[in-house]
Amino acid sequence: MTASIAAILARDLDKLVQELTLFEKEEALWRTEGQITNPAGNLCLHLVGNLNTYIGGILGASGYVRDREAEFSLKNIPKEELLAQVRQTKATVTHTLDMLSDEALQQPYPQQVLGHEMTVGFFLVHLTGHLSYHLGQINYLRRLLP
């Protein structure tokens, strides 16, 4: 099961790279429309922070320190820097999950993140859904914004 979760996360991080690359105008990464409050660039930073924290930092002891506020307040990060961060996140996630046994999925996740205790496996499935949710938002913004 660990390999399946790792494959889904890697696939969707590759798709995130593709989506960011497809933004024709770099400034569109930082724009919103109507009632949409989070631009694609900030959603990307949020995904990078989320996965580096909960997989790299907590499960992989990478030493990553999250600045969640900056994920939503930073603006105009160059596209190439965002792409580099996503690629590094993929490497961290892949490395960490490669070290995790299927038995580890049944262990309690070391932090209570969602307001209740959960297993590592449950939280990893949650994280795949979280990535997919925001990836869909980024795809929609890319197609919506000129």
pTM of the entire predicted model: 0.96
- pLDDT tens-digit map of 7-47: 999 999 999 999 999 999 999 999 999 999 999 999 999 99
Is the pLDDT at 134 greater than 90? The verdict is yes
Domain range for residue 43? 2-144
Domains identified in the chain, total number: 1
Is the pLDDT at 73 greater than 80? The verdict is yes
| Residues present in the chain in total | 146
Position 146 scores a pLDDT of 77
Where residue 6 sits, what CATH number does that domain have?
1.20.120.450
Sign of the Cα torsion 92, 96, 128, 38 reads: negative
Q: How would DSSP label each residue in 89-118? A: HHHHHHHHHHT--TGGGGSBPSS--SSS--
- pLDDT tens-digit map of 81-121: 999 999 999 999 999 999 999 999 999 999 999 999 999 99
> How is residue 65 written in tokens?
């320190």
Q: Please identify which residue in the block is written with the tokens 């790792």.
A: 6
Closest CA to 123 of 49, 54, 43: 54
